[in-house]
Amino acid sequence: MDEIVRFENVGLRYGAGAETLADLNFTLYPGSFYFLTGASGAGKTSLLKLLYLSQRPSRGIIKLFGEDAVTMPRERLPGFRRRIGVVFQDFRLVPHLSAFDNIALPLRVAGVREKDLEVPVAEMLEWVGLGDRTSARPATLSGGEQQRVAIARAVIGRPEILVADEPTGNVDPDMAIRLLQLFEALNTLGTTIVVATHDIHLLSKIPGAQMMRLEKGMLADPTGSLRHPPLPNDQQQ
């Protein structure tokens, strides 16, 4: 497959107001790493929702894995969503499940046997620095710890696309880099990564990444094409 996502003239309008997203035209390629940047309110979360199929556009065409995601029958959506890992801005952990069970969820849904999930889940807990919080429920974890559980849950099933909305917003700079390294490792295994972030400093940490910048609901590059991020020196201001 030479493309994994294609948006053609996509617009999104909530209710009767002006369009929140307008004239989006872009293609994402398998195995690439993308940052989505833009000021608060520019429409990053809205664009990600279109990508992980929790929101339908008001106009345009969205192709995902080579198929038309807009006209797809509803009963096929869950199968498609399973191919996409999502780190939500508000985490959305299951409150009555432990950190371990939250992370194990995608594997259990995929039918992985109990004896086969212990090791990968424990390894993932270690990787995100929560090896000693295995049994903790979300309410007893800090915001940053919950964020790390949410990331571990999104990546453990090795999704074909990983969509992450401000995934480092609640962690310190060292942990932010560590989490980006986790995304990079997943990317090396072939997952297409889309990370929405305000944090311009993160962009230089993944030299091969490409950048999409939203301005008031439109991709800032007039051609709508993806651009490489500026060189690290340009980001110092």
Ligand X SMILES: Nc1ncnc2c1ncn2[C@@H]1O[C@H](COP(=O)(O)OP(=O)(O)OP(=O)(O)O)[C@@H](O)[C@H]1O
CA dist 25 and 6 (Å) reads 7
CB of 52 to ligand X, least distance (A): 13
Number of Cβ within 10 Å of residue 141's Cβ equals 19
Which residue do the tokens 């942990």 mark? 175
Contact between 99 and 130 under an 8 Å Cβ cutoff? The reply is: yes
Number of Cβ within 10 Å of residue 127's Cβ equals 18
Residues with Cβ within 8 Å of 79's Cβ and at least 6 positions away in sequence, in order, are none
Nearer of residues 46 and 187 to ligand X, judged by Cβ = 46
CB of 17 to ligand X, least distance (A): 7
CB of 42 to ligand X, least distance (A): 4
How is 32-62 classified by DSSP, letter by letter? -EEEEE--TTSSHHHHHHHHTTSS--SEEEE
Nearer of residues 39 and 110 to ligand X, judged by Cβ = 39
Q: How many Å is the maximal CA-CA distance in the chain?
A: 52
Nearer of residues 145 and 165 to ligand X, judged by Cβ = 165
Nearer of residues 39 and 94 to ligand X, judged by Cβ = 39
CB of 51 to ligand X, least distance (A): 12
- In 83-124, which ranges are E strands? 84-87
* DSSP H helices in 139-209: 143-155, 173-188, 200-203
Residues with Cβ within 8 Å of 207's Cβ and at least 6 positions away in sequence, in order, are none
CB of 197 to ligand X, least distance (A): 9
CB of 10 to ligand X, least distance (A): 13
* Secondary element (H or E) of residue 102: helix 99-109
Nearer of residues 130 and 154 to ligand X, judged by Cβ = 154
Backbone angles phi, psi at 103, to 5 degrees: -70, -35
Binding site for ligand X (CB under 6 A): 14, 20, 38, 40-46
Nearer of residues 20 and 98 to ligand X, judged by Cβ = 20
